C-alpha cells in the first residue's frame, strides 16, 4: 500500500484546532444511558460519539451488546446533540445495519483485524460507500496484518481511512492491559504519515488513572486523535468498568493535555523536537525494563551458583560476552569504548546482584 494524502482528507476537512476526540461508553446499555452520556459530552471537544453495539467478548457469558436496537439510540444521539456517531462492525450484516441507520464512522475491532477473511468480508460490504473507517491494530503486534486490513478497505474503494492504536496483548503481565509497543506506532507513522492515527488509551491501560499519561505520550508522538471510553457511572458499566472515565473527567483530561499544534517555524521546530524526545523516552523506558529483566536472570543464576558453591566471577564467559557485544555494537554504529564502558557497568551491577543473593 502506498501513502496517500486522500486517506486523511476526511480529517483535514474537519479543520479542527485540537486532536480528534472520540468518546462515549464501551457499550450501549440502555437508551437512557446512551442519551445521558451524549448530552453530557455535547458541549466539549468530542467530535464523534462512540458506543459498542455488538461486543466482542473474550469469554462467552458476558454482556455481548444490545445489538441492532442500539442503532436507533445512536440516531437519537445525532438528532438531539448533533454529535456524529461511530460503532464497531465485525461482519457484513453489521455493516449493512450500520449503513441503514446512518452511523457516521465505523471502526473495526482488534479481534477482527487479525482475520483477513473478516476484513475482506467487511471491505466487500462497504464497497461503493464513502464511510470513514478506522481500523484498530490486531491483538498481536503484527504491522503487516494491520496494514493488510487497511489495504483491503482501500482496494475496495474506501478512501476515508484511519487507524486506531489500542495496544497489543501479551502473555507477560504488565502494568498495561494491552502493551503500547510505541515503536510500532512510530514505524507506522513513518511509513504512512498521511494515514490518521488515533490512540485508544482506554484499551491500552485498562485503568482510568493511567489514561492521561498515555494520551499525552500519544500526542507527543504526533497522534491525530484519541478515543476514550466515557460513561456517566463507570463503576457500574456493563463492560470495561475499570477503564471508563466520567464526562467531567474527560473534559478535565482534554484541558490538561498539552496539545502541540504546528503553526509557525518556531512551534514546528519545538513540535519536531518534542516528538523526537518522546521517541527517546520510549526507548529509555525499554532500556530500563530490559536491564531490570537482565538483573532478575542474574539473581536466578546467583541462586544456582550458591547451591553449587561456585564463584560469582567467571572470566571466560565474561570475555566471550564482551567480544560478541563489541562486534554487535560496531554493526549498530557504537564505538568499542562505549560498548566496553556500558558492559562493564552492567557486569558490575550483575555481580552486585549475585553477591547479594549468595550472601543472603
Task: Kindly list the residues in this chain that would bind ligand PEP in the complex (CB under 6 A).
Answer: 26, 52, 56, 109-111, 136, 166, 203
For 63, residues 6+ apart whose C-beta sits below 8 A from its C-beta are 27, 55, 57, 238, 239
Query: How many CA atoms, within 13 angstroms, populate the side-chain half-sphere of residue 214?
Result: 29
Residue ranges in 229-288 that form contacts with Mn ion under rule CB under 5 A: 240
Return d(Cα 162, Cα 86) in angstroms, integer: 13
Question: CB-wise, 152 or 166, nearer to ligand PEP?
Answer: 166
Question: CB-wise, 34 or 312, nearer to ligand PEP?
Answer: 34
In angstroms, give the least distance from the CB of 139 to ligand PEP: 8
Site size for Mn ion (CB under 5 A): 2
User: Which does residue 109 touch among Mn ion, ligand PEP, none (CB within 5 to 8 A, set by kind)?
Assistant: ligand PEP
User: Which does residue 77 touch among Mn ion, ligand PEP, none (CB within 5 to 8 A, set by kind)?
Assistant: none
Question: CB-wise, 239 or 354, nearer to Mn ion?
Answer: 239
User: Which does residue 232 touch among ligand PEP, Mn ion, none (CB within 5 to 8 A, set by kind)?
Assistant: none
Return d(Cα 152, Cα 130) in angstroms, integer: 15
In angstroms, give the least distance from the CB of 52 to ligand PEP: 5
Task: Find the helix or strand (DSSP H, E) in which 121 lies.
Answer: helix 116-126
Question: CB-wise, 52 or 162, nearer to ligand PEP?
Answer: 52
CB 20 within 8 A of CB 198: yes
Return d(Cα 243, Cα 45) in angstroms, integer: 20
CB 238 within 8 A of CB 27: yes
Query: Does 23 contact Mn ion by CB under 5 A?
Result: no
Question: CB-wise, 109 or 329, nearer to ligand PEP?
Answer: 109
| Radius of gyration of the CA atoms of the chain, in A | 24
User: Which does residue 138 touch among ligand PEP, Mn ion, none (CB within 5 to 8 A, set by kind)?
Assistant: none
Amino acid at each position: 500500500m502506498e501513502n496517500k494524502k486522500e486517506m486523511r482528507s476526511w480529517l483535514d476537512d474537519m479543520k479542527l484546532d485540537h486532536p480528534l476526540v472520540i468518546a462515549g461508553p464501551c457499550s450501549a446499555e440502555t437508551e437512557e444511558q446512551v442519551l445521558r452520556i451524549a448530552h453530557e459530552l455535547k458541549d466539549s471537544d468530542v467530535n464523534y460519539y462512540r458506543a459498542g453495539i455488538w461486543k466482542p467478548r473474550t469469554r462467552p457469558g458476558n454482556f455481548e451488546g444490545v445489538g441492532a436496537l442500539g442503532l436507533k439510540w445512536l440516531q437519537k444521539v445525532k438528532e438531539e446533540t448533533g454529535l456524529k456517531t461511530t460503532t464497531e462492525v465485525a461482519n457484513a450484516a453489521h455493516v449493512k445495519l450500520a449503513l441503514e441507520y446512518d452511523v457516521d464512522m465505523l471502526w473495526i475491532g482488534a479481534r477482527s483485524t487479525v482475520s483477513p477473511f473478516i476484513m475482506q468480508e467487511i471491505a466487500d460490504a462497504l464497497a461503493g460507500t464513502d464511510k470513514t473507517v478506522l481500523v484498530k491494530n490486531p491483538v498481536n503486534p503484527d504491522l503487516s496484518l494491520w496494514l493488510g486490513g487497511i489495504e483491503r478497505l482501500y482496494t475496495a474503494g474506501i478512501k476515508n481511512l484511519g487507524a486506531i492504536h489500542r495496544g497489543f496483548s501479551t502473555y507477560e503481565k504488565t502494568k498495561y492491559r494491552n502493551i503500547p509497543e510505541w515503536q510500532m506506532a512510530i514505524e507506522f507513522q513513518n511509513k504512512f504519515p498521511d494515514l490518521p492515527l488515533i490512540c485508544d488509551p482506554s484499551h491500552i491501560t485498562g485503568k482510568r488513572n493511567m489514561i492521561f499519561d498515555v494520551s499525552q505520550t500519544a500526542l507527543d508522538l504526533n497522534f491525530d486523535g484519541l478515543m476514550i471510553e466515557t460513561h456517566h457511572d463507570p463503576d457500574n458499566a456493563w463492560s470495561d468498568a475499570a477503564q471508563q472515565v466520567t464526562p467531567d473527567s474527560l473534559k478535565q483530561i482534554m484541558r490538561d493535555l498539552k496539545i502541540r499544534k504546528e503553526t509557525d517555524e518556531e512551534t514546528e521546530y519545538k513540535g519536531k523536537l518534542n516528538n523526537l524526545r518522546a521517541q527517546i523516552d520510549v526507548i529509555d523506558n525499554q532500556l530500563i525494563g530490559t536491564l531490570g529483566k537482565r538483573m532478575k536472570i542474574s539473581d536466578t543464576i546467583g541462586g544456582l551458583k550458591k547451591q553449587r558453591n561456585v564463584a560469582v566471577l567467571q572470566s571466560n564467559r565474561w570475555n566471550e560476552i564482551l567480544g560478541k557485544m563489541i562486534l554487535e555494537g560496531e554493526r549498530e554504529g557504537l564505538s568499542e569504548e562505549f560498548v566496553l564502558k556500558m558492559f562493564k557497568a552492567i557486569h558490575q551491577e550483575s555481580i552486585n546482584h549475585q553477591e547479594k543473593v549468595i550472601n543472603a
